[in-house]
Amino acid sequence: MKNQVLSKFASTLVLVAGMGGMIASCGMQGGSGQAPEIGKSVALFDYFTYQGDDSFYKENPLQGENSFYTPILPGWYSDPSICTNGEGDYFLVTSTFTYFPGVPIFHSRDLVNWKQVGHVLSRPSQLVNMVGQHVSGGIFAPAISYNPHNKTYYMITTNVGAGNFYVKTQDPFGEWSDPIRVPEVGGIDPSIFFDEDGKAYVVNNDEAPDFKAEYDGHRTIRVQEFDWKNDKMVGPRKIIVNKGVHPEEKPIWIEGPHMYKINGKYYLMDAEGGTSVNHSEVIFRSDSPWGPFKAWERNPILTQRHLSPNRPNPITCAGHADLVQAAEGDWWAVFLACRPINNRFENLGRETFLLPVEWSEDGFPIITQGDEVVPMIQCRKGVKRGENVTFGNFSVSEEFGDSILDMQWMTLRGPATDLYSLTETPGYLTLKCGEKSSKERDVPALVCRRMQHHEFQTETRMYFNPESAEEKAGLLLFKDEFHQYFMAVSQSENGRQITLTQIGREDKVLATNPVPADATCFDLKVVSKGLTYDFLYSIDKGKEWKSLCDNVDAGYLSTAVAGGFTGTTIALYATKK
């Protein structure tokens, strides 16, 4: 299918979808073609391109206008939660940990075609105590709910550095309130359930009874009434699940709870088994939100943990789900899962998948059962796949033509607006060489976006005139504080150079090439082949590309090596350290 331009934002970002695996060449030349004036200790980025090139999408083109790829949000979009207002609008949010702004919010009218419409946590007042936290700290598992009684949307979540809180709005396309703390709710992963009778409840993962865990991973699910009219928790807190579905088997990490009322019954759905390959989703049912909740005998309702790791195109770690009933009456589930490449590792983090929900004869929801695999191609009858899709192979082009960053871009632990500018030199992203490095738990001069494909190509043009050995700027692949690759321009005793450094607890220089002493314009490129990266550069605006370092181990940036809850990001970065 011919590639289509999906949208052109005010910041001149262009997204191009590759339905049949075809990739549009961005052909960016940047700016007016004339070199800008370069300030002291700053780097100017002229443009940025990203082109997905995953083999699966090329080898498995979509057939028919009702089909779509899942993950619907590829790359690191973990812990998805979904709600509807009952009027045909669906909203979806995911975790952001210590990135800023926090909690992207997506909107859809049909569950297939999604568009990001903002961030729930868009102000520093909503994201406190981020400095000092590991990149996988911060905001865990946001849960979005709609209260039909006051026509208000709520998002409740955990800030690891500040406890549980919620924000609310009547306009999910606009601003959300400042945090309303709920110190009575301990643990993590709270979510709000609004009952038909006007009452509401918060369920969450919490400590073992009396804080006496019988084993590592022993957790409980608790419930407490929420007085939404007065913005406070009321009444007692009660344990409604202890340990998990089969307590005698010592299940671990019952978490991510969501409560629903369906056909007069209360359903409690939870993740179980931890977020790695043993992840799963389980379901309980009761006649009351206070329990007792009985586990379904055919649990789990979603998992891939028992399947052969050697199966083709494996989807692993499936769990942490949320349910929604569409306006047409059918039910769907969003959940997180991973796509390890060649059954080895993944750099993309936990992604957001969408699958239909079936119902058992005894009235329980089913996402997968038995040896069913999570498929990467789905169909929703009656829904036409539009041009503004978020899945498959696509290309992104950014010219930095607006006064604010597009929604794809993030910083770490704070807005970093004192470190970057889009107005200082119009048409360029200006990054100051920051005093904080990407290894520190602070706010570096770093602007990044998610890595969303195993196979991709990304490129930027940078104008930079380093005056000392401390000043470095370039393209950074960032997993966490101690797992990074930095392709940087710097000054040394021997002259100007481009260097590739493997950043870790002990940094390791992988390659260094000299460049002319008066060179100030640098095109930097990374080509990912899945298991390895190639790093290239040009000093003549892309006429001739030179290899800096080929076949660099991509596994170094994987969760298998680094751990943590995020995926890898691609950053434009400048530092004095």
Query: What positions carry a catalytic annotation?
Result: 79, 255
Q: Are the C-beta atoms of 169 and 178 separated by less than 8 Å?
A: no
Q: Which two tokens stand for residue 428?
A: 């360029």
d(CA 559, CA 577): 26
Q: Are the C-beta atoms of 83 and 91 separated by less than 8 Å?
A: yes
Return the bridge partners of 324, or none. 332
| Residue 83, helix vs strand vs coil | strand
d(CA 425, CA 39): 10
Q: Are the C-beta atoms of 233 and 224 separated by less than 8 Å?
A: yes
Return the bridge partners of 461, or none. 47, 523
Q: Are the C-beta atoms of 146 and 169 separated by less than 8 Å?
A: no
| Cβ burial 309-325 (10 Å sphere, 16+ → b, else e) | eeeebbbbbbbbbbbbe
Sequence-distant (≥ 6) Cβ neighbours of residue 523 within 8 angstroms = 459, 460, 461, 462, 537, 538, 539, 541, 542, 545
| Cβ burial 278-293 (10 Å sphere, 16+ → b, else e) | bbbbbbbbbeebebeb
What is the amino acid identity at position 103?
V
Return the bridge partners of 222, or none. 204, 239
d(CA 232, CA 206): 19
Is the torsion defined by CA of 111, 115, 118, 121 positive or negative? positive
Q: Are the C-beta atoms of 238 and 290 separated by less than 8 Å?
A: yes
